Amino acid sequence: MPRVRVAVNGYGTIGKRVADAITLQDDMLLVGVSKTRPNYEALAAAGKGYKLYVPEGREEEFEQKGIRVSGTIEEMISKSDIVVDATPGGVGAKYKPLYVKHGVKAVFQGGEKPSVAEASFNSLCNYAEALGKSSLRVVSCNTTGLLRLICVLNREIGVRSVRAVIARRAADPKEVGKGPVNAIILNPPSLPSHHGVDVKTVLPWLDIATAAVVVPTTLMHVHTVIARLKRNTGVSEIIGILEQAPRIILVDSGKTGVRSTAELAEIARDQGRPRGDIPELIVWADSIRVDGDEVMLFQAVHQESIVIPENIDAIRAAASLASDPWESISKTDSTLGLKRWW
Amino acid sequence: MPRVRVAVNGYGTIGKRVADAITLQDDMLLVGVSKTRPNYEALAAAGKGYKLYVPEGREEEFEQKGIRVSGTIEEMISKSDIVVDATPGGVGAKYKPLYVKHGVKAVFQGGEKPSVAEASFNSLCNYAEALGKSSLRVVSCNTTGLLRLICVLNREIGVRSVRAVIARRAADPKEVGKGPVNAIILNPPSLPSHHGVDVKTVLPWLDIATAAVVVPTTLMHVHTVIARLKRNTGVSEIIGILEQAPRIILVDSGKTGVRSTAELAEIARDQGRPRGDIPELIVWADSIRVDGDEVMLFQAVHQESIVIPENIDAIRAAASLASDPWESISKTDSTLGLKRWW
């Protein structure tokens, strides 16, 4: 079976991880990656042997730094069946006409408006609806974390409403210029935050309201989720459901001493995870509190990597490489080595 | 009318602020303050002219540093009608027999177990019940912030249940050895956190569950509160109620640009507030979201100073200096200059 040819437009935090993940798939071929500036990430891409494409007219800038350029971004698009757009938020919409012009399918990221694509996407929620679509939007990291939990609980028990509070990391580790250094910022002050609104792009029927604060850390987001289910439940039932779910890891602070994002990051480094990534949603088993139909729990989201498995599945859904969601999910997860900690 | 003689045992974060507040009351006399170590805070107390009392046998340690000692802690207690115990959490219980021995009433802090005192206390909730008690416990900063909001809403509309998520400051500004520097810590991982349990020491009938995470900042705590009231309400009704309430300041991020704890701290400094303190509970007016009987909002708590007005009222209640809560509250608030920002 011929592999689907995939380009990655934008080789930043998400793009470089998606590119690496594509090279692990036996049904995909990485055409190349694009970069607008010849910085350390461009050097690393070239060092890995990825074909590098740049904006027209800037080839010399790269060549002067000793970075070999394979062509322009438009040339990369024209050689592809599908493009993963990992450009900065809002830039994807500007590239969309180029993708349409060349008849190339597109997977956008959550920084774009929902209207950029035919559907917003999460593997555990709406893979079947995404099959064969010409464009998909993988929702952002916090939305992906919320959707994994909600769709798993909704499939097994049914979810009536969700209230969630997000303690957001202030910056990614590489972003040296962002703050705050010493403050808690309401993000935004007016409620609800956009995260719940974004969840509704995938689950329009859900009663959800979220609040977010930005705090001075770079490692992960932490969510406090309060979900009301369609019937009464118990802690052991919830643990059983989450244990069986893909892309969710349960940790027990009592057994492991893991009570913060710092210890999760250390485990990922100790386990030899590439870049110390944690693409799984982390749920603290001993945080789960059930009161009738209400479930309250803590979960952590690694902002840099949680959407990577969903990007791979989105390629597979749009390109109709697998019609069964579980076929794609299990292939993605085994190639990325997910859910194997101890 | 003779003033009630008040000692402050422990001249740290809370003790020094309570001592300053006592000197502003025309019905109280500050007997003195105690300190166990001759550090910069002891020097500052002596510099202000406060009589300093120390543990027996350590007088020389202080005198060698040029700090004049007025006697032992037991001597300070014996000269007082009431003591505010602001010793570190758990130490107050060890001092309690000394207070009992000298027939001195005591106001403990929230770091002590509820059983240390006859009642846990918040001025807006249970002043009348606290009248004449031999011992009271002023609940901790986060609990005080929650209780101010809950008791005001409960008096005007009625509160059925509360869910709240607390983003806790990691350390006070003076605590150089505490972390985290770069992590979000579940505090604790198991839910609910003690804060809601502590609210129930004052409001035992309330359905409340709280969650807390510690984040790398020193300025203030931020709460996301989700309260279900006894009937449907609207944003303007909630704003009207909170505007009328003592010790609550409403801020509007749209009008003022205040969207974080850093800007609140800057206002307090600009306003010449002593130590940059904010003893009021800060509620963001434009965060208030009402959905039927559910109210969701952001509020901020200045951990170092929010309990100071309640300590003054607790002295007045225990010493029966004012039988009407509003008499004490308005006296405390006008002497401390509360709720006058612009």
At residue B335, the pLDDT reads 97
Q: Closest-CA residue in chain B for A253?
A: B189
pLDDT(A54) > 80 = yes
Question: Which residue, B17, B58, B21, B50, is CA-closest to B33?
Answer: B50
Identify the pLDDT of residue A170: 97
With CB atoms and an 8 Å threshold, state whether A284 touches B183. no
Sheet architecture: strand order including A4-9? A71-72, A52-54, A28-34, A4-9, A82-85, A105-109, A135-138, A119-121
pLDDT digits (tens, 9 = 90+) for A166-186: 999 999 999 999 999 999 999
Report the SS3 class of residue B295. strand
Most A-contacting residue of B178, B213, B252 (CB-CB within 10 A), to test interface: B213
Q: Which residues of B touch A195 (CB under 8 A)?
A: none
Q: Which residues of chain B have pLDDT under 50?
A: none
Q: Do A189 and B165 touch (CB under 8 A)?
A: no
Of B42, B117, B130, B141, which one is the catalytic site residue? B141
List the single best residue of B165, B193, B255, B286 to mutate versus A (max A Cβ within 10 A): B165
Which domains are present in chain A?
4-139+307-336 (3.40.50.720), 141-301 (3.30.360.10)
Tell me the pLDDT tens digit for each residue of A198-246.
999 999 999 999 999 999 999 999 999 999 999 999 999 999 999 999 9
User: Do the Cβ atoms of B189 and A259 come within 8 Å?
Assistant: yes
Q: Is B78 on the interface with A (CB under 8 A)?
A: no
CB within 8 Å: A226 and B182: no
Query: Maximum CA pair distance of chain B?
Result: 66
B141 counts as catalytic: yes
Cross-strand pairs, A221: A301
Burial A57-94 (b: 16+ CB within 10 A, else e): ebbebbeeeebebbbbbbbbbbbbbbbbbbbeeebbbe
Q: Dump pLDDT digits (tens) for A72-130.
A: 999 999 999 999 999 999 999 999 999 999 999 999 999 999 999 999 999 999 999 99
B287:A215 CB<8 A: no
Judge whether A159 and A229 are in contact, CB under 8 Å.
yes
Q: Does A190 contact chain B (CB < 8 Å)?
A: yes
A 94-133 residues with CB below 8 A of B? none
CB contact under 8 Å between B189 and A289, yes or no, is no
Residues in chain A: 342
Q: Which residue is it, tokens 């909704």? A: A154
- Which pLDDT score, from 0 to 100, does residue A263 have? 97
Contact call for B217 and A298, based on CB within 8 A = no
First-to-last alpha carbon distance for chain B, in angstroms, is 35
CA distance A150 to chain B (A): 19
Q: What is the pLDDT of residue B326?
A: 97
Q: For the whole model, what pTM was predicted?
A: 0.95
**Which value, to the nearest 10 degrees, does the dihedral of the CA atoms of residues A120, A124, A129, A132 take?**
80
Residue found by looking up tokens 């014996």 in the block: B78
Question: Angle, to 10 degrees, between the axis of helix A123-130 and the axis of helix A141-156?
Answer: 90
Do residues B165 and B222 make contact, with C-beta atoms less than 8 angstroms apart? no
A288 interface with B at CB cutoff 8 Å: yes
Q: What is the mean pLDDT of chain B?
A: 97
End-to-end Cα spacing for chain A? 35
**B217 vs B198: CA distance, rounded Å:** 24
ipTM of the complex as predicted: 0.94
A42 vs B: CB within 8 A: no
Q: Per-residue pLDDT tens for A262-290?
A: 999 999 999 999 999 999 999 999 999 99
The confidence score (pLDDT) of residue A184 equals 98
Q: How close, in Å, is residue B146 to chain A by CA atoms? A: 17
Nearest neighbour of B215 by CB, restricted to A216, A253, A286? A216
Name the DSSP class of B260: B
Q: Is the peptide bond before A246 cis (omega within 30 degrees of 0)?
A: no
Beta carbons of B167 and A217 less than 8 Å apart:
no
φ and ψ at residue B228, rounded to 5 degrees: -105, 125
Contact status, residue A283 vs residue A258, Cβ threshold 8 Å: no
Query: What's the confidence (pLDDT) of residue A158?
Result: 98
Backbone angles phi, psi at B190, to 5 degrees: -75, 135
Q: How confident is the model over A186-199, as pLDDT tens digits?
A: 999 999 999 999 99
Question: Which pLDDT value is given to residue A254?
Answer: 95
- Category of A103 on φ-ψ map: left (φ > 0), alpha (ψ -120 to 50) or beta: left
Dist. CA B235–CA B294, nearest whole Å: 11
Three-class secondary structure of residue A236 per DSSP = helix
Interface of A with B in 260-279 (CB under 8 A): 260-262
Q: Are strands B221-229 and B248-251 parallel, antiparallel or unpaired?
A: unpaired
pLDDT given for residue A2 in this prediction = 82
CA–CA gap between residue A100 and residue A95 (Å, rounded): 9
Which residues in chain A touch residue B262, judged by CB atoms under 8 angstroms apart? 180, 182-183, 185
Using CA atoms, how far apart are residues B325 and B302, in angstroms rounded to an integer?
Answer: 23
Instruction: Return the structure tokens found at A205.
Output: 């029927």
Count other C-beta atoms under 10 Å from residue A190's C-beta: 18
Single-letter amino acid, residue A172: D
Residues of B in contact with A220 (CB under 8 A): 184
A188: chain B residues, CB-CB within 8 Å: 253, 259
3-class secondary structure, A222: strand
CA distance A219 to A43: 25
- CB-based contact, A185 to chain B, within 8 Å: yes
Contact B219 A165 (CB under 8 A): no
A192: chain B residues, CB-CB within 8 Å:
289, 296
Q: What is chain B's length?
A: 342
Phi, psi of A160 (to 5 degrees): -95, -45
Residue whose tokens read 């409340």: B208
Selected for mutation to probe chain A from B191, B194, B297 (highest A CB count within 10 Å) is: B191
H or E element that contains A18: helix A13-22
Instruction: Give the Cα separation of B138 and A308 in Å (integer).
Output: 49
CA of B212 to nearest chain A CA: how many angstroms apart?
9
DSSP state of A260: B
Question: Which pLDDT does position B340 carry in this prediction?
Answer: 75
pLDDT at residue number B342: 72
| Contacts B291 to A, Cβ<8 Å | 209
pLDDT (0 to 100) of residue A17:
98
Considering only CB atoms, B209 lies closest to which of A254, A261, A289, namely: A289
The half-sphere exposure of A1 on its side-chain side, counting CA atoms within 13 A, is 9
Give the angle subtended at the CA of B126 by the CAs of B121 and B132, to the nearest 5°: 75
Residue at token pair 């809002």? A90
d(CA B210, CA B193): 5
Alpha helices in A73-212 (DSSP H): 73-78, 91-101, 123-130, 141-156, 194-199
Q: What is the pLDDT of residue A18?
A: 98
- Contact list in B for residue A300 (CB cut-off 8 A) is 184
CB contact under 8 A, B261 and A222: no
Residues of A in contact with B190 (CB under 8 A): 253-254, 286-287
Determine which one of A141, A220, A229, A319 is catalytic. Answer: A141
Q: Mind telling me how many Å the CA of A233 is from chain B's nearest CA?
A: 16
Q: Which residue of A has its CA nearest to B215?
A: A215
Distance CA(B187)–CA(A219), nearest Å, equals: 17
Residues of A in contact with B165 (CB under 8 A): 165, 211, 224
> HSE on the CB side for B283, CA within 13 Å?
28
B84: distance to nearest CA of chain A, Å?
31
Contacts of A287 in chain B (CB under 8 A): 186, 189-191, 211
- B330 and chain A in contact, CB less than 8 A: no
pLDDT for position A183: 98
